[in-house]
């Protein structure tokens, strides 16, 4: 069984990959549900998250993203969890930390 430090490194890698995937998919250009370009602050408000959370998501190293943040972004983007995670798995594989 892996030790706590190893698990923490693996979790950090998954979080980094999740954040980078979200950033590339949704956070390069912010849009409302009508497809109009909006500011980061407006996007954050529509998603129900803070602008600083979006800034953390855009960091190359990512951060420990809560599931609720993922869900809030997907709800705004009208994306199902199933679709998102299938695309994530297809892009990053199923064994990210290994």
Q: pLDDT for 12-25, tens place per residue?
A: 898 999 999 999 99
Q: What is the pTM of this model?
A: 0.88
68 token code pair: 């609720």
What is the CATH topology of the domain spanning 4-91? 434 Repressor (Amino-terminal Domain) (1.10.260)
Query: Three-state SS for 26?
Result: helix
pLDDT band at 6 (very low <50, low <70, confident <90, very high): confident
DSSP letters spanning 54-84: HHHHTSTT-----HHHHHHHHHHHT--HHHH
51 token code pair: 């602008």
């Amino acid at each position: 069984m892996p030790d706590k430090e190893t698990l923490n490194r693996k979790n950090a890698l998954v979080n980094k990959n999740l954040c980078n995937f979200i950033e590339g998919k949704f956070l390069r250009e912010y849009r409302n549900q009508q497809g109009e370009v909006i500011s980061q602050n407006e996007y954050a408000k529509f998603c129900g998250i803070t602008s600083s959370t979006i800034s953390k998501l855009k960091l190359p190293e990512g951060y420990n993203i809560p599931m609720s943040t993922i869900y809030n972004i997907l709800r705004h983007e009208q994306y199902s969890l199933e679709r998102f995670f299938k695309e994530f798995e297809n892009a990053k594989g199923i064994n990210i930390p290994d």
